[in-house]
Structure 1
Amino acid sequence: MSSTNSISMNRAHIEQLVRDSLRRQVGGMGRSRISGPNPLVVNISARHCHLSQSAVETLFGKGHQLTPKKWLYQEGQYAAEESVTLIGPRSRVISNLRILGPCRDFNQVELAYTDAISLGFDIPTRNSGDIKGTPGCMLMGPAGFLKMQEGVIRAAPHVHMAPEDAAFYGVENKSFMKLKIGGALGVTFDRIFVRVDPSFKLEVHIDTDEGNSCGFGPDVPCELVR
């Protein structure tokens, strides 16, 4: 057996062990009481941006490549070492706005509602990539400025899932589900946008405002329902 195949098998075995362990942990952060094919994880997504390679080079210099700092739950996604400064319409700024990689073919900034108010933005709630008609902004990096004509949004709460998860829950790509959050507040989010792809792990993303509003944190139970 080649070393490459051995590494792949070891990685797959480790991932399966992790999933089995998550299934045994009832009431952990973002894990459902319902036992599906894969463990449900809910993560709070803080403000960040996605950039094209051209934008990265404008901000950090010709030929610059993003450097992974922290790998995220979805395969191949990471928080980069690089960050930028966002300049809002009132000349107020957010420093150290984290870039998420890898690069995409469009530029997008995702803010929570309170971020937008502080900066002077009137931003819509949109699904990622749906940026037509949204406000723009200025980003500043160590090598230059990038003027975005559009692309500043509040990301709609959404769930990533593989086809086997979609079959289990009885939903389709681009449909909607509900996310029931337990704990002291007992909040239900009624419009969780469904994204289905074979590469996805079962994970819900909500922003910092949404997480704070429902008191989400360690040991708060949650459940996805149709």
Structure 2
Amino acid sequence: MQGTQNLNALEELVRQSVYRQLGLDKSTAATAPNKLLVNISARHCHLTQEAVEILFGEGHQLTPKKWLYQDGQYAAEEAVTLIGPRSRIISNLRILGPCRDINQVEIAYTDARALGFDVPVRQSGDIEGTPGCMLMGPKGYFKMDKGVIRAAIHVHMSPEDAAHYGVKDKDFMQLKVHGECGLTFDKVFVRVNPDFKLEVHLDTDEGNACGLGENTVCELKKIK
């Protein structure tokens, strides 16, 4: 127990030192109730149970492969092949579980260009007017008439986090990423739910553009 307390104290001292060197706002960073995580969300899809059974066989259930940071969410063992315009494909497209009530594919801008898609930036679930695609699994094909998007940058947070940052559900915030390739994202969509942990999701293009790494210092700010 004493060793854990000493480690926590050391981590806090290092954190405060970094904040001072970078000039971060301690009121919204060092004193935040929960640690901010900024993660890259690689291309993936969300499927209904109906789609899963068409692709993998009647009665098939998704099998968790890796549990994600948000409680109850996981990357499944199952993956599919995405067939885009002019028969260009992305193989091994990971399914994230559990099943949802809509089918949605989330890819980055580079993926869309490679596939020949004109894909809009959307919030998750906002799929009207988006392009569709064909998915191929070991047991069949599933045609999506819509649902291929580039997911907008967003932050998951609890009501406690929202109160600390002075924001509410569906607001926008800024994310400043420090480092050699540091930059600021100005339209981070806020999602507030009691079950959420504080986490920002970027896609692979956005993560690569700012040089995001495991130890990259990031700062979440309310837009003034």
TM-score band, normalised by the shorter chain? Answer: 0.7 to 0.9
Separation in 1, partners of 2:96, 2:202: 16
Residue ranges of structure 1 left out of the alignment (5+ in a row) = 1-16
CA distance in 1, matches of 2:134, 2:110: 19
Q: Secondary structure at the match of 2:206?
A: helix
**Residues 148-182 of structure 1, C-alpha deviation per residue, up to 9 Å, x if partnerless?**
00000000000000000000000000000000000
Equivalent of residue 34 in structure 1, options 30, 40, 48: 30
Mapped partners of 2:54, 2:161: distance in 1: 40
2:80 corresponds to 1:84: yes
**Where does 1:199-214 land on structure 2 (aligned, <5 Å)?**
199-214=195-210
Which residue number corresponds to residue 188 of structure 2? 192
Give the Å deviation of 1:83.
0.1
CA contact (8 A) 2:29 2:220 kept: no
Query: Which runs of structure 2 are paired with 1:104-115 in the superposition (5 Å)?
Result: 104-115=100-111
Question: Matched residues in 2 for 1:44 and 1:211: separation?
Answer: 6
Corresponding residue of 1:178? 174
Distance 2:168 2:195 in 1: 15
1:1-226 aligned at under 5 Å gives the runs: 24=12, 26=15, 33-226=29-222
Q: Decide whether aligned partners of structure 1 residues 36 and 23 sit closer, same or farther in structure 2, where only a CA change above 3 A counts.
A: farther
Counterpart-to-counterpart distance in 2, 1:55 and 1:128: 18
Task: Measure the CA separation in 1 of the matches of 2:86 and 2:10.
Answer: 45
Residues 21 and 74 (structure 1), Cα distance of their counterparts in 2 relative to 1, 3 Å cut: farther
Which amino acid in the other structure matches residue 91 of structure 1?
A: S
- Partner-residue secondary structure (3-state), 1:133: coil
Once the two structures are TM-superposed, the CA of residue 90 in structure 1 deviates from its matched residue by 1.8
**1:131 aligned counterpart, secondary structure:** coil
Identity across the alignment (%):
71
Partner deviation per Cα, 1:105-142 (whole Å, 9 max, x = no partner): 00000000000000000000000000000000000000
Paired AA for residue 94 in structure 1: I
Aligned length: 204
State the one-letter code of the partner of 1:68. P
Q: 1:219 Cα shift? A: 1.7
> What corresponds to 1:14 in structure 2?
none
Quote how far apart the aligned CAs of 1:35 are.
Answer: 2.6
RMSD: 1.7
Deviation at 1:185, TM superposition (A): 2.0
- Structure 2 residues not aligned, in runs of 5+: 19-27
State the 1:186 CA deviation.
Answer: 2.2
